[in-house]
Amino acid sequence: MDENGPGSSPLAADPQADPVLAWLAQKGLQGNPFGEGNARLEENIRDYYVAVQDLYIATLLARQSPWIVFAAVGRGKTALRKMIASECWPARADSDILALEFEGHAWDTLKGLAGAAVPPQPILYVQTIVEVALERLQQGNRGTSASLAPLRKIVTASPASLRPQPCLDQLREVAAVLRFSRVMGLVDELDTAFLDAPPETMLDWIRPLLHPEIRGGLTLRYLLPDTIEEALLRESKRLGLGACRMTRVRWEEDDLIALLAQRMRAFSTDPMAPYTSVGQLCEENLARGIDRDIAHTAEDSPRAAVYLADKLLWLHCQKREVMPRIQPPTWRKTKEEWQRYRDTILDVGPSFGGDGGFSLRGRNINFAGTELRLGGRDYALLRRLVEAGGGLCPLRDLAAAGWPDDEPQGIRDKTVQEAVRRMKARLQEQGVDPAWVEAVTGRGYRLRVPASGGAEEPGPPMPPPSDVYTHLEAGLEELKRRLAGQPKKLKEALVHEARLLENIAQARLYGDKSGSQADRAEIIDRLNALCLDTLDVDFGALGRQALAGGGTAPGGSEREERKR
């Protein structure tokens, strides 16, 4: 970390090596502290985990009663699950708590058992839990074939012949024989298992796991998406959730700064004098406030903070000569890039009316960037309208949203209309012109930009997925054509092409998942850097030019073409 030590002279970027890792190694860091922002893929998360609010691992382990944690995408649900599991068996051989992680694989197993029956019967959840326990115990060589036989019998039995409570009693008895004091169930990845599903669908699938009969048989920690919080709280009395502790995760700027510091510390090669901030890699004027700026820009998202720090390092190391310290223009460029990919990383949902209109972010509804304070039916009705994106919401759809426990046909049209009138009054109290919500006589409601203005009319609908990616494919072809005389650069382009085409193929086949979008954004970032470095034009413009038939000669740059 000494100014005159390693890294004090410019580092020529080696095309055969990762320039970021090379530069960080010179600075005394073993790897990129921000190279991975997805907790599912983090191998050493214990080294840089940061606890927020009352979510201390010791407390989560000690408390016997159920605990429900709500958090938006990228706010630490999976990191919390992995941290709890890391203190239990099998991660810790000396622990007397058996951890059963009900996550992606378990959800897939449950879906297979349930078939078309939604929601599944509680016994299918119990069979899935027991199957997870059996797999864990067998893989960890805990127990004999005879001691595990009761669990094997439950897994292979017909669901009709089983009842939840005796099965869970059997699981606890087997655990006790194997010297476990408790069985802890960690429920996670509901939003991953049902990606793009509406909150109602996720609620249908989690509801049986919240049944008191199952809660009483295990020590349970539910790590749930905040998009179902409102609906779940409405059912609190019916599900008996009064006995459950509930926490909604909120990251403060200081928490995010602590996360940056912890990652820098964990990757430092010198444990006696570790890094404690991103600022220590930056030029003096930038160093003073960069960690706070990253935390502020990340908008309470740890995933976004990691992305911003990684992007800052990556952009710094893409120059032909990598300077000893990160400069202020690199941070400005990082923020420009952030604006392009912000919505994907923050998992911003549907919107209407541009920056001055409505948008969904997690369970929040924002207007002109400010969160609206709506509860119950007002929230449900407006959310349905925003999700429709300006399309017509029939009265029956609004009835289903506003009265989820009743049959929509039983709700009179006048009742729905009166509820919408009250919702518009709540909006007006918060400075929103009620004319945003337009009645379509006898049919329903839709969002419309008021004639008085306040936002620009939304653009035309997005084209179907096959067209969304066409300009990317055209850009790849144009890039290869222009790099025909530069074999080294062409080779680099071909590597990016293979990754991007595979990503597009998966998106077209299975839908554009949030993980695919993030991966594609990273590939396009690298293509942008290549294009700007060799052709003086960004990759997106290259694709649009190709579609318009405006390509330039191989090897020619956009600037040279304008001169001609």
Beta strand 245-248 pairing with 97-102: unpaired
Query: Which ranges of 207-318 would DSSP assign to H, the alpha helix?
Result: 212-215, 229-234, 236-239, 253-266, 284-287, 290-297, 302-316
* 305 and 349 Cβ atoms separated by less than 8 Å: no
HEC sequence for 316-360: HCCCCEECCCECHHHHHHHHHHHHHHHHHHCCEEEEECHHHCEEE
Cα atoms in the 13 Å half-sphere on the side-chain side of 161: 6
At the top level of CATH, which class does the domain 361-447 belong to?
Answer: mainly alpha
* CATH number 3.40.50 given to 53-248: yes
Cα atoms in the 13 Å half-sphere on the side-chain side of 354: 11
Question: Residue 515: in which H helix or E strand, if any?
Answer: helix 514-534
Give 349-359 pLDDT, tens digit per residue: 677 887 788 88
Q: Would 53-248 and 361-447 be classified into the same CATH topology?
A: no
**The pLDDT of residue 402:** 87
Q: What's the residue count for the chain?
A: 564
Annotate 110-167 with DSSP letters as a single string: HHHHHTT-SSPPHHHHHHHHHHHHHHHHHHTT-S-HHHHHHHHHHHHS-GGG--HHHH
Measured CA distances, 213 to 109, 210, 216 (Å): 21, 8, 5
**The pLDDT of residue 549:** 59
Please name every residue paired with 437 in a beta bridge, in sequence order, or none if there are none.
447
Helix (H/G/I), strand (E/B), else coil: 497? helix
Q: Is the dihedral of CA 447, 448, 452, 458 positive or negative?
A: positive
The structure's pTM equals: 0.64
How many angstroms separate the CA atoms of 49 and 406, rounded? 44
Measured CA distances, 489 to 485, 521, 527, 558, 560 (Å): 9, 20, 11, 17, 19
The neighbour count for residue 531, using CB atoms within 10 Å, is 27
How many angstroms separate the CA atoms of 273 and 240, rounded? 51
Residue type for position 224: L
Query: What's the chain's Rg over C-alpha atoms?
Result: 27
Per-residue tens of pLDDT for the chain, all 564 residues: 333 333 333 343 343 458 899 999 999 999 999 988 888 888 888 888 999 988 999 999 999 999 999 998 889 999 999 999 999 999 999 999 999 999 999 999 998 888 877 778 999 999 999 999 999 999 999 999 999 999 999 999 999 999 999 999 999 999 999 999 999 999 999 988 887 678 888 999 999 999 888 888 899 999 999 989 988 988 888 889 988 999 999 999 999 999 999 999 999 999 999 999 999 999 999 999 999 999 999 989 999 999 999 999 999 998 778 899 999 999 999 999 898 788 777 776 677 887 788 887 666 788 887 888 887 788 889 988 988 888 888 998 899 888 877 787 888 999 999 999 999 999 998 889 999 999 988 889 999 988 765 433 333 333 333 345 777 888 888 888 888 888 888 888 888 887 888 777 666 655 555 566 777 878 887 888 888 888 888 787 787 777 665 444 444 444 444 333
* 98 and 88 Cβ atoms separated by less than 8 Å: yes
In sequence order, which residues have a C-beta less than 8 Å from that of residue 139 and are 6 or more positions away?
A: 90
Domain coordinates in residue numbering, the chain:
11-40+252-345, 53-248, 361-447, 465-563
How many angstroms separate the CA atoms of 421 and 437, rounded? 9
Measured CA distances, 152 to 109, 129, 161, 171 (Å): 15, 12, 14, 11
* Beta strand spans in 386-498 (E): 393-394, 437-440, 444-447
Token reading at 11:
């580092």
